[in-house]
Structure 1
């Protein structure tokens, strides 16, 4: 049975309670998966990565050219690691940059993470501000695109969407495929099976990604 519109009313406090229960269930499920798949290291690693929704740099570079502002936004929120920041600097050098800060950043290692953060902030501060897509929207798209690509490897992909929805402060543009949010059109979930309702959510998720690909791809093309 699907919750009533009143129950599903947008409410940050209520959604946080839902996420607490989801985290507890995720932990229990992860332990169960570990107990039956302990000999499958690759499977365990994949589940662990997706629980953190960590996006590999190779995937990022295939979808968007990060600005230093974008990189700093993600780095400060632990959405991108120090090694990927160094890789981004190396990409800039390969593209022909001779910026001394990017040269310095490309040569830093794990033991110099404080210096990596400082250099990244300097690069973001001297980089011209670009009008257009907010860095938060870039990272929201990347998180959801990576999750969608790997949705079959995740125990509850739509549940992960709920986590991302809360982590990014409840963005309006993805409400259409958040399970506990009320529908905004004539669709009546009570007249459909659970499978049909979930297929509809995945379809809306795919639509969001298609639109994001066009918008973000356009910005990336303009920066080349």
Structure 2
């Protein structure tokens, strides 16, 4: 990536997503993560889980400013093959969420969206709020109204694509298997779990519940 250099923090990610080490590695390699974010993520995992790998312990013990990529790479390799498209999709969401939340720090936030669009190889799912691609839409009365429409679409994308930050499939089932079940809602195909070590509430849900067997399970942190 050439245009988008950010410093997304561990706290920002943990408030919105579960993240694998393969995804952390992507964030490091593409200069999207804050310098010490990997250390903070390891410390969060160490405090939340009773059993972690020696590499997580090593990463959590690193001092700020110490290079982390080699250890993160080992952790990513231990996860096995990953779907690169899913990794990119999660980072597209996180990058746009970060820029949106910090939009007042940019002289032209919509120009930043254009940079993200270029760096992520023009994903069609965000074309509706990329300024030069959205010009095909009928114009409104003022420049301000047209720009507000782009911000509204951006906000809607973030709301609709929150699921992209979730664990899915067997990863989701393995994750909730370590938690304590609180209760289920059969009509909504949702089950809530609690992490007793942190108090965080997680929801296992089936967004394709109309399919046979409920479709693919996903898990997300409860807001």
Q: TM-score, normalised by structure 2?
A: 0.67
CA distance in 1, matches of 2:6, 2:84: 25
Shift of 1:206: 1.0
In structure 1, the residue matched to 2:10 is 57
Q: 1:159 & 1:118 partners in 2: Cα distance?
A: 34
| Deviation readout 1:62-114 (Å, 9 max, x if unpaired) | 0011100100011111111441111111122122233111111111224641x
Q: Secondary structure at the match of 2:161?
A: helix
Does structure 1 residue 188 correspond to structure 2 residue 138? yes
Alignment root-mean-square deviation, CA:
2.7
More strand by percentage:
2
Between 143-152 and 203-212, report the one with greater CA deviation: 143-152
1:140 pairs with 87, 92, 109, which one?
Answer: 92
Match of 2:103 among 151, 154, 176: 151
Q: Deviations over 1:6-45 (max 9, x none)?
A: xxxxxxxxxx9xx8xxxxxxxxxxxxxxxxxxxxxxxxxx
1:197 to 146, 150, 159: 146
Q: Is 2:124 aligned against 1:172? A: yes
CA shift, 1:215, in A, is 3.7
Indicate the residue corresponding to 1:72 in structure 2: 25
Q: Do the aligned partners of residues 175 and 201 (structure 1) sit closer, same or farther apart at CA in structure 2, a change above 3 Å counting?
A: same
**Alignment partner, residue 71 of structure 2:** 119
Larger RCO, structures 1/2 (Cα 8 Å, 6+ apart)? 1
Instruction: Check conservation: 2:6, 2:34, Cα contact below 8 A.
Output: no
Distance 1:211 1:112, change over 3 A: same
TM-score w.r.t. the length of structure 1 is 0.67
Larger helix proportion, structure 1 or 2? 1
Aligned residues: 171
Distance 1:117 1:55 in 2: 16
